[in-house]
Structure 1
Amino acid sequence: MAVTGIGGFFFRSSDPQALAAWYLTHLGVGAPEGQFLWDQQAGPTVFAPFKADSDYFAADKGWMLNLRVDDLDGLTASLAAAGIEVITKPEWNASAEVGRFARIHDPEGNPIELWQPPAS
């Protein structure tokens, strides 16, 4: 008997409906209001606890959502056009075997890492 994948991601929000709409509009994550299932593509998922004093993401946040994407350049261009700050750093992309990364924050300041895995 084994776990077969992540079944959900739940977090608190000051305005759950507005935040859910933001994720659906800008990232295609989630489902329309009144629906709860998001069918996603199969692929790798990293599950990694970090040290409490890690500087990989903001110290005042207990988590960072990492979303796997297939066109990092296209998505970040779309996000920037919508006025969403996109952060990139060359050191995040130092290993071609790992893939490429960018970061954004949702309207409530939650960190989101966008990850384009290397081509298979």
Structure 2
Amino acid sequence: MTDTHSHAPRVTGLGGVFYVVKDPAATRAWYRDTLGIDGPYGPQLAWAEEPLAHPYSLISHFADDTYIKPGTGSFMINLRVNDCDGMVAGLRAKGVEILGTADEGYGKFAWLLDPDGVKVELWEQVEDALP
């Protein structure tokens, strides 16, 4: 039997993103209908289906809001996806405006705005480009 308390306490992952919006029900519906994210308490992600051997989440800090623009918040939500190109094609088919895409070598990215002006970044991690 393994002693689960033998390791020092540590942060193990992102628990969630919490922010204020004008119409929570409409925002939850947008995440459900546009990105397919749903759960009993609103948009909910489970990493059990993650195929990568070493998936990671990132907390990034910026000196200004250039990367967040044209989002109107002081933060951006980064969502992991398993097929960025396919996700972008599906979103465009739904009439969602994609602000841009990029392939940075360590992953593919796409950007869009949620109905409250929060910038959402979609990220497909590349397995062999681990930090």
> Which TM-score applies when normalising by structure 1?
0.82
Partner of 1:49: 61
Please state if 1:107 is matched with 2:111: no
Q: 1:93-119: per-residue Cα shift (whole Å, max 9, x none)?
A: 2x31x2111100011111001111114
Determine if contact 2:110/2:121 at 8 Å carries over to the other structure. yes
| Paired AA for residue 10 in structure 2 | A
Could you list the runs of 5+ residues in structure 1 that have no partner in the other structure? none
Aligned-residue CA RMSD in angstroms? Answer: 1.9
**Bigger radius of gyration:** 2
The number of aligned residues is 112
**How do 1:11-22 residues align onto structure 2 when only pairs under 5 Å count?**
11-22=19-30
**How do 1:1-80 residues align onto structure 2 when only pairs under 5 Å count?**
1-31=9-39, 35-36=40-41, 38-41=44-47, 43-51=55-63, 53-58=64-69, 60-80=72-92
Could you list the runs of 5+ residues in structure 2 that have no partner in the other structure? 1-8
For 2:120 and 2:45, how far apart are their aligned partners in 1?
A: 19
Q: 1:54 to 1:108 in 2, by over 3 A?
A: closer
Q: 1:39 to 1:112 in 2, by over 3 A?
A: closer
Q: Which runs of 4+ in 1 moved over 3 A?
A: none
Deviation of 1:74 (Å): 1.1
